[in-house]
């Protein structure tokens, strides 16, 4: 028996073991009755298959929803309305209109007003725009 023939017959036998019908199924049975090498190989494959079937995966049943729900509730409790942003928008538009008045040179101090308005906004909403969020960790 050639190695290629043995390989073909072994593939046909494995397909038959999986429930598939192949053109070599009768020939494979005859071949397996005569070839001890293929019998041993197929037996090893069946043993390996049984080993895989017996394996169980570890399941982690951690319920993460309470932690996520608490974070959502906390975030909604700290929710900032639209009012501070509307006030800042009105102040910035007023500043721009004042700056556009003809023959006015407000000076350097007045040019820092938009920066001051934005700083006041972040102080009012108690948020640091440059903070890196490193608090995202699951609790155990």
Above 50 in pLDDT, residue 57? yes
Closest CA to 118 of 138, 98, 89: 89
pLDDT digits (tens, 9 = 90+) for 70-114: 877 766 656 667 777 788 888 888 888 887 877 777 677 777 888
Tokens describing residue 86: 């509307």
Closest CA to 140 of 57, 59, 63: 63
pLDDT digits (tens, 9 = 90+) for 9-34: 778 777 877 778 777 667 777 777 88
Closest CA to 22 of 36, 8, 35: 8
- The pLDDT of residue 136: 57
Q: Where are the domains of the chain?
A: 3-54, 65-124
| Overall average pLDDT of the 35-55 stretch | 86
d(CA 135, CA 138): 9
Above 60 in pLDDT, residue 4? no
pTM: 0.36
């Amino acid at each position: 028996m050639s190695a290629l023939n043995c390989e073909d017959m072994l593939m046909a036998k494995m397909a038959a073991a999986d429930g598939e019908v192949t053109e070599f199924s009768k020939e494979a049975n005859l071949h397996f009755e005569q070839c001890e090498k293929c019998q041993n190989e197929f037996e090893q494959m069946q043993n390996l298959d049984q080993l895989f079937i017996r394996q169980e995966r570890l399941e982690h049943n951690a319920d993460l929803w309470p932690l996520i729900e608490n974070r959502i509730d906390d975030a909604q409790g700290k929710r900032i309305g639209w009012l501070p942003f509307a006030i800042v928008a009105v102040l910035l538009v007023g500043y721009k209109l004042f700056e556009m008045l003809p023959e006015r040179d407000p000076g350097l101090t007045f040019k820092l007003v938009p920066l001051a308005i934005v700083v006041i906004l972040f102080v009012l909403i108690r948020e640091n725009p440059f903070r890196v969020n490193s608090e995202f960790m699951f609790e155990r």
